[in-house]
Amino acid sequence: MIALAGAGFFLPGACLAAPAQTLKISTWNVDWLLDSQMQHAPQIPPDIPHRTADDLAALATYAKRLHPDLIGLQEVGDTATLARLFGTQEYQLFLSGDDIPQHTALAVRQGLRVKRNPDVSALALSPTATRHRLRSGLDVTISTDSADLRVLVIHLKTGCWDNPLSETHHACPILFQQFHALRDWLAERAKNRESFAIIGDFNRRLTRTDPLFIALNQITPLALVTAGHASPCQNGSSFIDHILLGGDATQWAQPESLRVMVLPQNSARVLSDHCPVSVTLKIPRQTSP
């Protein structure tokens, strides 16, 4: 596997060929981003990060350096706390409608047009199918000057990192059901000939040879942006935060634009147990027929 440089940032260059639009998309599990009251609520695990105002300010500094055009987020409690990282003067903020402490979320740069689609509640499964309530996918359509991009932000069940499909214990049966729901969503995108991205915390070490990725790829061809790389986050571990591109978007990722922003992981003050993963898309302008 190829390890990425630790804290590199891609700056889109000037377009010298046909007019096109660049779009930096990211995903980041922000690790129980809750307001001060919810951090101490009875239903919240006691060992979560209890962040101070200084911690939130530090996270906001990383968010500013990241400077995405759109970013899918996981483990977000509310929009007010999220706005302390991605201010509403610069970003439009969206949260899934789940009635749980953790939500999938999206911050989209002001000026981009956003259409909210119904949450993909099939990813949350039935309340009787799992002991803990799971998260729906946040589904939006982003309209640029060049094209539309359907974006699904997900946070899947943890605990089935690379187990085979024959695994019947642990979290695997739940994760396998969620991948079935993803296949249904992909089939609809393929039917409608949409360009799309699935971004988020898959809690799975996806590779091109993973049977779960192969099953998705059989529905419609996908680009797994993280394939062939090791993450510098967590000392060179395999990626579990992924960006999948489909439809025309499989051709939009700029070569060598995959980046991971490394956050401090080896001190008493861990701001987040995940690092933001980003890629820059170059979207060709649609020509009139």
Strands 70-76 and 103-109, bridge-based pairing: antiparallel
Task: Provide the whole-model pTM.
Answer: 0.91
CB burial string 208-243: b at 16+ within 10 A, e below: eebebbebbbebbebbbbbbebbbbbbeeebbbbbb
The residue among 113, 201, 110 whose CA lies nearest residue 152 is: 201
Q: Which residues 6+ apart lie within 8 Å of 37 measured at CB? A: none
Task: Output Rg (C-alpha) for the chain, integer angstroms.
Answer: 18
Output the CA–CA distances (angstroms, integers) from residue 93 to 108, 173, 184, 202, in the order listed: 7, 32, 26, 22
The answer to whether 275 and 258 have CB atoms below 8 angstroms apart is no
Is 150 a residue whose pLDDT tops 50? yes
The answer to whether 142 and 108 have CB atoms below 8 angstroms apart is yes
Place of tokens 């809690």: 203
Look at 42 and 280; give whichever has higher pLDDT. 280
The residue among 188, 195, 241, 197 whose CA lies nearest residue 70 is: 197
At 6, the pLDDT band (50, 70, 90 cuts) reads very low
The answer to whether 103 and 123 have CB atoms below 8 angstroms apart is no
**How far is the C-alpha of 138 from the C-alpha of 106, rounded, in Å?**
8
At 201, the pLDDT band (50, 70, 90 cuts) reads very high
The residue among 189, 160, 155 whose CA lies nearest residue 176 is: 160
Is 287 a residue whose pLDDT tops 90? no
Residue 120 DSSP code? B
Q: Both tokens of residue 66?
A: 């990241």
**How far is the C-alpha of 103 from the C-alpha of 276, rounded, in Å?**
17
Place of tokens 């490394």: 262
Is 9 a residue whose pLDDT tops 60? no
Is 129 a residue whose pLDDT tops 80? no
Over range 87-111, report the average pLDDT.
97
pLDDT tens track for 205-257: 999 999 999 999 999 999 999 999 999 987 788 999 999 999 999 999 999 99
Is 269 a residue whose pLDDT tops 90? no
Q: Which of 3-12, 166-175, 188-197 has the highest mean pLDDT?
A: 188-197
What integer pLDDT is reported at residue 13 of this predicted model? Answer: 43
